[in-house]
Amino acid sequence: MAFYQGKLMRISVDGQTIFHEVDCTLSGSTDFKDIATKDTDGTESTPGSKSWNISVNGFVATGATAQEDIKSMSDLWNAQTLVAITLSDDVVGSVIFSGNGYIEGFSVGAPNDETVTFDYTIKGNGALTVGLVTV
């Protein structure tokens, strides 16, 4: 059995990884419709719409080439651009999550005597596809 390595799982935005990403979390949820009547025994739940998002944080640095950095991600947020998102380690046979989304929010932290950090949230738009890396 092989375990996935967190340092290899990368978020790509429009085919480019996020520069100096440290941590990311993919979350999915389902809204449920609950029904309780005088003729049911308790509450019955039926799955409804699904939603997903990705949160990512890391360090702000200069020199990004062929990667999304603080400037390009901020530009995507400002322009309200729909982007293609993937989360994968790119190892053949490993899981890959993909879909489209918008940069929902971001923050930059600059504490005294510390490295500047960023946080982004990407809100999924439409379905999240779960597959396997083939190439």
In order of their start, the domains of the chain are 10-28+44-132 (2.40.30)
- Of the candidates 108, 105, 130, which has an alpha carbon nearest to the alpha carbon of residue 120? 105
In which band, very low, low, confident or very high, does the pLDDT at 14 lie, cut at 50, 70 and 90?
A: very high
> Which residues, in sequence order, are CB contacts of 28 under 8 Å at separation 6+?
50, 51, 52, 128
Query: Using an 8 Å Cβ cutoff, are 120 and 73 in contact?
Result: yes
Residue 1 has pLDDT above 80, yes or no: no
pLDDT tens, residue by residue, 86-114: 999 999 999 999 999 999 999 999 999 99
Apex CA 129: angle with CA 8 and CA 71, to 5°?
A: 55
Distance CA 17, CA 69 (A): 9
Specify the DSSP element, H or E, that contains 74.
Answer: helix 70-79
Residue 34 has pLDDT above 90, yes or no: yes
Hey, what are 10's tokens?
């990368």
pLDDT more than 70, % of the chain: 100
Residue 28 has pLDDT above 90, yes or no: yes
Beta bridge partners of 32: 47
Average the pLDDT over 45-53 and give the result: 96
Distance CA 120, CA 108 (A): 9
